[in-house]
Amino acid sequence: MTPDKAVATQRRKAALPQGFRHLPGRLDRQAQEALVAELRIIIAEAPLFTPVMPRTGKPFSVRMSNCGSLGWVSDVRGYRYQPMHPVTGRPWPAMPSVLTDIWAELAPDAPPPEACLINFYGEDARMGLHQDRDEATFDAPVLSVSLGDTALFRIGGLERSDPTLSLKLSSGDVALLGGAARLAFHGIDRLYPGTSTLLKDGGRINLTLRRVTKPEKT
């Protein structure tokens, strides 16, 4: 790495919100393929659906599903977590153990995750800047796993108007938003089609693990 690139890297890291971690290639190709096989089973039981924006009913550009005891949904009534698939009415499938193992490794002091949002991005899909704040507690981090085509991820501060920084998330990457970064605005600006051969028809899957409820005091 040249001195200029090293300085640029240091500046980029310094600008990232405290508590944000990016672990490139955390899952190798074999682990990615095994996880995709598990997701196929999950999606067969809890099919992808297209959420819509509250009030306006405008459809998202991503399709989604969930696994875990709770799932995040969005419709004209608002954003919320619920234990049942909004179309089938059945409980969400269990979360793959590889995901809960990564959570336990990276967030050993946090209570276990209750929801894993499965977002599927086609090549034209986007996700605007937003905060993950529909949970009853923000003490636990948000953990993200990327599979498939590379995406341009953007993250800022606690206000929508704060400066943002962009980095690429590739297949097998893991990102953690904890501490001050837990409520940072973030989003996906674009995909880079054809950058991965993991998914047969291309696209990207993003898995987002969250703790939804406050743990009961013992």
**CATH number of domain containing 48:** 2.60.120.590
pTM of the model: 0.91
User: Within a domain: residue 90?
Assistant: yes
3 state SS for the chain: CCHHHHHHHHHHHHHCCCCEEEECCCCCHHHHHHHHHHHHHHHHHCCCECCECCCCCCECCCEEEEEECEEEEEECCEEEEECECCCCCCECCCCCHHHHHHHHHHCCCCCCCCEEEEEEECCCCCEEEECCCCCCCCCCCEEEEEEECEEEEEECCCCCCCCCEEEEECCCCEEEECHHHHHCCEEEEEEECCCCCCCCCCCEEEEEEECCCCCCCC
- Beta bridge mates, 70: 115
- Whether 3 is in a domain gets the answer no
Among 196, 167, 209, smallest CA distance to 33 is for 196
Which pLDDT belongs to residue 5?
59
Domain residue limits at 137: 27-210
Determine, yes or no, domain membership for 8: no
What per-residue confidence (pLDDT) applies to 55? 87
Q: Give me the helix-helix angle, 97-106 and 29-45, nearest 10°.
A: 120
Q: Considering the domain boundaries, does residue 116 fall inside one? A: yes
pLDDT in the model for residue 10:
46
Task: Give me the residues of the chain with pLDDT under 50, please.
Answer: 3, 6-7, 10-11, 14
Q: Is residue 48 part of a domain?
A: yes
Quick one: pLDDT at residue 16? Answer: 87
In a domain, 11, yes or no: no
Residue 97 forms part of a structural domain: yes
User: What per-residue confidence (pLDDT) applies to 217?
Assistant: 76
Residue 130 lies inside a defined structural domain of this protein: yes
What is the total count of domains within the chain? 1
